[in-house]
């Protein structure tokens, strides 16, 4: 059975199309893999009834194909609504509340034929890159179950690594597609902001920090799922037409210029061995025919952090303030959420403007860099996966972290200005743990980044190294 769940989503899709594999057979293999691995990692939550899933898969075998995901099991991140399933967002207030309809992204995956089997675990409200919450507990790392799987798409990444599902949706405000991708040895892609629309709830203009996106074990699957998720929503202002990523993913990459930013001139403290491990991958990029050059810090890391931490708190406060204002609901918010809300509520309109001016200046500085470089590279994380028993890391390399999320500062240059970015898995570290590097480019360079990812995967294929629990 595990040989079936080892396959890529596109290979499964072809087999289902050719009828050399049935959706019912694939569902049985998926349920067996869940039974084998999920008790060890807690990646899948709110799993649907097995007999109902078997019946849906059998019906898919007897139905006309809807799209490339026809008959393929998928679990949806527990921040998004999937019709008929609970959306807890990791908070006890919402535990057991059933979604009456699909969110747009989920509807697009279902329209392409996906069978929604359940949800993937996440931190409460998606806050923090460690996937634990009072409703579903903690998701741990398939490569070492004493360690964190990252977050907030930790359940999605762990489910991919454990060979439970072949592709997964996720979301990314502060590295939530990239950090768990790195720590679970899979690909995570943060699209250009606006390419994958979220739900048009509340304000659609002001907050441009978070986006939905795909995760997968191969860049081809990543591209296929992105092309399914993407596309403008007429109810929202930021979407635009775009180039499909899958059709041209095998384009040549030789000659492309890559800028290596390292630890941003020492601004981002790194756990021992991680920076050198990532820098070694620059030679592997050069072996693919690309030109890699060291780049000095192009902008103040502290200015970016000031802008980021303020605008993020402002966005979180905008989303969660209604719960804060009700005393009995406020008591059910975790401390980090209250910290964000109170900081966001304290900002004046002119202070928000000042912080956004910093963001604008960084965007212009990055645009100048992209006149020279096709893509820039950073480590995806500042440390190896940390113990699952921790709430969050309090120091890195002797440097104290002054907030619950400072340890993920390395993702801020991308998130702050809405650029596309792919996490590419590296060779497992000498400690046997996964790590990754972020390649990011200018707006709308999503397809070109996918091409680099595909060349990387075709040559090195590091994500094929399975965790022992996957069988």
Quick check: 248 and 227 in contact, CB under 8 A?
A: no
Place of tokens 């001016």: 357
Angle between helices 154-161 and 23-41 (to 10 degrees): 120
- Comparing CA positions, the residue from 70, 66, 56, 62 lying closest to residue 28 is 56
**Dist CA 71 CA 67 (whole Å):** 9
Backbone angles phi, psi at 139, to 5 degrees: -90, 135
Burial class (CB in 10 A: 0-12, 13-18, 19+), 357: exposed
Radius of gyration of the chain (CA): 21
Quote the DSSP letter at residue 249. T
- Active-site position among 88, 152, 171, 445: 152
Residue 176 known to be catalytic: yes
Q: CA 120 → CA 19, 70, 137, 411, 459, distances in Å?
A: 29, 20, 12, 22, 30
Burial 79-92, CB ≥16 within 10 A → b, else e: bbbbeebbbbbbbe
Residue 77 known to be catalytic: yes
Burial class (CB in 10 A: 0-12, 13-18, 19+), 389: exposed
- Comparing CA positions, the residue from 196, 202, 195, 160 lying closest to residue 181 is 160
- Active-site position among 13, 36, 46, 77: 77
- Active-site position among 88, 131, 148, 176: 176
**Dist CA 327 CA 346 (whole Å):** 18
| Coil/strand/helix, residue 215 | strand
H-helix or E-strand containing 216?
strand 211-216
Q: CA 237 → CA 207, 243, 352, distances in Å?
A: 12, 18, 21
Active site residues: 77, 152, 176
């Amino acid at each position: 059975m595990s040989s079936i769940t080892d396959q890529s989503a596109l290979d499964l899709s072809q087999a289902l199309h050719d009828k050399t594999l049935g959706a019912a057979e694939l569902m049985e293999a998926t349920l067996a893999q869940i039974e084998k691995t999920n008790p060890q990692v807690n990646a899948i939550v709110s799993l649907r009834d097995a007999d109902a899933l078997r019946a849906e898969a059998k019906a898919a075998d007897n139905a006309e194909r809807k799209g490339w995901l026809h008959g393929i099991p998928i679990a949806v991140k527990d921040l998004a609504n999937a019709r008929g399933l609970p959306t807890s967002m990791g908070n006890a207030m919402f535990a057991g509340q059933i979604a009456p309809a699909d969110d747009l992204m989920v509807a697009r995956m279902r329209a392409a034929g996906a069978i929604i089997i359940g949800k993937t675990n996440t931190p409460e409200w998606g806050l923090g890159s460690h996937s634990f919450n009072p409703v579903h507990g903690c998701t741990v790392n398939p490569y070492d179950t004493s360690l964190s799987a990252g977050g907030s798409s930790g359940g999605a990444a762990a489910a991919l690594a454990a060979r439970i599902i072949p592709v997964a949706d996720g979301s990314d405000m502060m590295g939530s597609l990239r950090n768990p991708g790195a720590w679970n040895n899979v690909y995570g892609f943060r699209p250009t902001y606006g390419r994958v629309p979220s739900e048009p709830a509340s304000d659609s203009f002001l907050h441009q920090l978070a986006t939905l996106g795909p995760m997968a074990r191969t860049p081809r699957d990543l591209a296929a799922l992105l092309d399914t998720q993407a596309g403008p929503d007429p109810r929202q202002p930021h979407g635009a037409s775009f180039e499909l990523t899958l059709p041209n993913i095998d384009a040549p990459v030789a000659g492309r210029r890559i800028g290596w930013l390292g630890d941003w001139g020492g601004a981002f403290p790194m756990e021992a061995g991680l920076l050198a491990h990532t820098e070694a991958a620059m030679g592997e990029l050069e072996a693919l025919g690309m030109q890699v050059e060291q780049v000095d810090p192009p902008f103040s890391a502290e200015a970016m952090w000031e802008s980021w931490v303020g605008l993020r708190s402002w966005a979180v406060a905008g989303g969660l303030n209604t719960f804060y204002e009700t005393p009995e609901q406020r008591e059910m918010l975790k401390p980090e959420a209250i910290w964000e809300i109170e900081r966001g509520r304290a900002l004046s309109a002119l202070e928000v403007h000042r912080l956004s001016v910093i963001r604008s200046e960084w965007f212009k500085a990055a645009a100048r860099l992209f006149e020279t470089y096709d893509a820039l590279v950073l480590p995806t994380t500042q440390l190896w996966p940390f113990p699952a028993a921790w709430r969050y890391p309090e120091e890195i390399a002797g440097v104290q972290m002054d907030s619950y999320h400072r340890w993920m500062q390395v993702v801020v240059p991308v998130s702050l200005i809405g650029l596309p970015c792919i996490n590419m898995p590296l060779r497992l570290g000498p400690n046997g743990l996964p790590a990754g590097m972020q390649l990011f480019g200018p707006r709308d360079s999503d397809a070109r980044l996918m091409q680099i990812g595909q060349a990387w995967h075709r040559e090195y294929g590091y994500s094929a190294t399975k965790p022992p629990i996957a069988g």
